[in-house]
Structure 1
Amino acid sequence: MRLKRRLATAGVALGVVAAATGTAALTAQADPAGPTADDTTPVAWNVDGLTATELTELESLGFDIAEAHDGRAQIIGDAAVADELRDLGHDPEFHDTVYKAVDPAIQQEGTYYGGYRTVDAYEADLQAITEANPDLTVLHDIGDSWLKTQGQGGHDLLAVCLTKLTDGDCETDPDSVKPRFTLMAQIHAREIATGEIAWRWIEKLVDGYGTDPEVTELLDTTEVWVVPIVNPDGVDIVASGGNNPVLQRKNANDTAGNCGSRLGIDLNRNSSFEWGNDSTNPCAETYQGATAASEPETQAIEAWLRDMHPDQRGPGANDPAPDDARDVFITLHSYGNYIIIPYGYTADPAPNDTALRALGADMAEYNGYFVGTNDDTVGYGTSGTTDDMAYGELGVAAFTFEVGGNFGTCGGFFPAYTCVDASLWPENEGALLTAAQAAAAPYAS
């Protein structure tokens, strides 16, 4: 049964954040009028009146385009970036700061930027929660990060399976007895709130089993799989900035050229499904890599998804998944307050478009996000994405959540840490539970 009660989150607002963090937390670190000419602090710039061709040109030149819609793009960069845009004939206007003020008194070991966990801390917490709950959890190593494959440190990619364990549960087998809900976060390293939301989802399930009837029913009937950090090397780079996190989006693969702080491959443009229509500039934030699924992180996620989910959709572009197909997949991103449905690579609707929109609307009853395709939401196409792969290859009902609004204290890539518990997690708690409860029949009317 899908969740029908509405969580009481509508009252969560910036006033709650102010009460939790103090007035200083609402003051950004850059001048509200915009950076001075010699200021290297990144901010968000609005650029209006862009044609599709101009937007593609800016992306190919390596500008960091955070969002684009209806001829407006938000571009991340310092004052020098704004000058470069002016040299190209554009008129950037300051929109908002990237960094929010941080209270150093609340920061603890293993955290950065006011409380966000490092990769090492996540790994330790995953180990601890699975060891403490052997009847509910199984931890899987599903692959390696790029740095680990190079013998340069790096990390394992860790997935935790949560269910009331019986024989055969939580094995990587597409013919599982229970339907599956899979969630992953931080494939883009700088989207730091997404990993924390994934972690609170894990805690909700572990803490709620046996006390919360809906959680208990869910874990009795469904396997829930979570990868809190898909891009751990990138997150290490982000966290290395401390209270001024590095704006690292991609992984740590530095073999494609001298890109300085723009190194890496965009793992959400590197999937083998419909790969190849994004940037070929190694220094662009949407660099797709030299070949499809070139990166070990991409290979690991794709193999994991194939091992987890039966192939339920025909080979044709217009072949729908059948009404009795099972399983739901969500990948968490930021920002925009969107629930995005397939496809990203084409403007043509997915063959299960109506059912995907219907489940998206059920989830949006809780977070209030706008439901639609890439064209409906972020306003640009994408190729080689994980959600397109999960749906397009396997027929899994797949969604991207763009968490958090358009900058402000609780928006953008680096929301204040207190925003996670004050708004970002509460508004998505019911949406995730709704998705998980639909895993047995996501396309059913």
Structure 2
Amino acid sequence: MRPRSPGGRAAATVAVLLSLALAAPAAARGPGGGGTHEYEVTGPRTAAQRTAVAATGASVDSIHGDRIVITAGAEQADRVRALGHRVVRLPGPPDRSGGRQPKPHTFPAQDAKYHTYAEAMAEIDAGIAAHPSLMSKQVIGRSHEGRDIIAVKVTSGVNPGAAKPEVLFTHHQHAREHLTVEMALYLLKEFGKGYGTDSRVTKMLDNRVVWIVPDVNPDGGEFDIATGSYRNWRKNRQPNSGSSNVGTDLNRNWNYKWACCGGSSGSTGSETYRGRAAESAPEVKVVADFVRTRKIDGKQRIKAAIDFHTYSELVMWPFGWTYDDTAPGLTQDDHDAFAKVGKSMAASNGYTPEQSSDLYITDGTIDDWLWGDQKIFAYTFEMYPSSAAQGGFYPPASVIDRETARNRDAVLQLLENADCMYRSIGKEQQYCSTAE
């Protein structure tokens, strides 16, 4: 891991930078109320400086040395300039129409291999029908606009009476990150075809319960392609009372350290608007309630998780709300187990492993909630590409197969470690000897 700045010095730096950022004008409204764009920002080198950029209400999309890419409104971009950084607007989402007239509510013609919500649900239903003894589906709730949010359960009938360790994979919190839905579909295909033919997959499904939530933000995803062209939409589609701005950033709305630390925005126009209260976004509450149902007889059955995002090619672990490696609720052994497994997964997929706050401070995120509230070893995978130049949030459909398969080994590694994550640091006897 990269070295940390001493806590007091880092906190003082952040305080000064945040005061500059927050003294600037109110955040611009998103699409439909002022417009947001991607910008390249040159200058921020440290996590504290990047946190100050994020505190303007912009979302930090990728980081390369002293250059970062943000999504922001024009006024937010001005607030970043006021911090002393160079800010240059980037081109908008790619035109993949292939010269054809956009067809509403579908992906552009050249990206037709991506699945709309309806197409993804149909493919999942077909997969379950093909493997009824292995897979089942439950509707765990509905989005703001009434779309089903589902969880697919994948496990074999072997060891039916055992309390198998469970692993959760969530996808598509952010609307424009469509590759993550393809990741969910890939996993379901791999589990279906691999059970009984691949010894590694078979062993895991005999001894684990896998839960896949393929689309946490279906409304936002459908809005992003509603015109037949990409709209660069991030949030959900929940209205905000008293404002024309629409949407909450789902990954700032979880009920752990919500709004605690300058890692989200209270402005409805911000790309990182955290919502009026923790779990105020219905999609977040649906998934959180589902996770809570997996606590049986006082024990959380879900032991590990990955939340898939794009982009930057990263494997990250908690905490995001503090720069410190350890904090209340995260011991040195916890941290070491997170890091050991995280680095091993990253070695298999070629991503960069790091604690979330190595990038910048975030609060109200799913990983911090899963660990801080439920003691689930939770990771975020930021998938392909590594940069905006390679497609950013909209990589071409031609990479889907390659980039989803790239995570196969990492997923299996997490499944294999899930029964006792502390085994990775040689402390199985201390922590897991009485585990189920």
Mark yes or no: TM-score above 0.5.
yes
Of 246, 249, 252 in structure 1, the residue corresponding to residue 231 of structure 2 is 246
- Alpha-carbon deviation of 1:81? 7.8
* Alignment partner, residue 373 of structure 2: 393
1:184 counterpart SS class: strand
* Alignment partner, residue 418 of structure 1: 398
Specify the code of the residue in structure 1 equivalent to 2:409: G
Unmatched 5+ stretches in structure 2: 1-34, 427-436
**Alignment check: 8 A CA contact 2:317 2:380 kept:** yes
- Alpha-carbon deviation of 1:332? 0.4
* Alignment partner, residue 303 of structure 2: 327
- Alpha-carbon deviation of 1:97? 5.9
Deviations along 1:32-74, one digit per CA (max 9) or x if unpaired, are xxxxxxxx99444233247878756654554343235765431
* Alignment partner, residue 140 of structure 1: 138
Matched, 1:295 2:281: yes
Matched, 1:158 2:150: yes
Alignment of 1:20-419 (within 5 A): 42-49=37-44, 59-67=54-62, 72-76=67-71, 90-93=85-88, 98-99=93-94, 101=96, 103=98, 111-113=106-108, 114=111, 115-148=113-146, 155-165=147-157, 177-242=163-228, 244-260=229-245, 263-277=246-260, 278-309=264-295, 327-348=303-324, 349=326, 350-351=330-331, 352-376=334-358, 379-407=359-387, 410-419=390-399
Distance 1:332 1:166 in 2: 28
**Alignment check: 8 A CA contact 2:40 2:67 kept:** no
Unmatched 5+ stretches in structure 1: 1-39, 149-154, 170-175, 314-324
1:240 counterpart SS class: coil
Distance 1:120 1:420 in 2: 18
Distance 2:366 2:59 in 1: 21
- Alpha-carbon deviation of 1:167? 8.4
Distance 1:87 1:409 in 2: 26
1:218 counterpart SS class: helix
Identity across the alignment (%): 31
Specify the code of the residue in structure 2 equivalent to 1:190: R
Q: TM-score, normalised by structure 2?
A: 0.77
Deviations along 1:197-246, one digit per CA (max 9) or x if unpaired, are 1110111001111111211111111111101100111111112132x312
**Alignment check: 8 A CA contact 1:257 1:282 kept:** no
Deviations along 1:234-285, one digit per CA (max 9) or x if unpaired, are 111112132x31211111111244445xx20111111111111321001101
**Alignment check: 8 A CA contact 2:47 2:361 kept:** no
Specify the code of the residue in structure 2 equivalent to 1:291: A
**Alignment check: 8 A CA contact 1:312 1:394 kept:** no
Task: Give the alignment's Cα RMSD to 1 decimal.
Answer: 3.1
- Alpha-carbon deviation of 1:102? 5.2
* Alignment partner, residue 411 of structure 2: 432
1:305 counterpart SS class: helix
**Alignment check: 8 A CA contact 2:165 2:419 kept:** yes
Q: TM-score, normalised by structure 1?
A: 0.76
Count how many residue pairs are aligned between Structure 1 and Structure 2. 376
* Alignment partner, residue 442 of structure 1: 421
- Alpha-carbon deviation of 1:404? 1.5
**Alignment check: 8 A CA contact 1:111 1:121 kept:** no
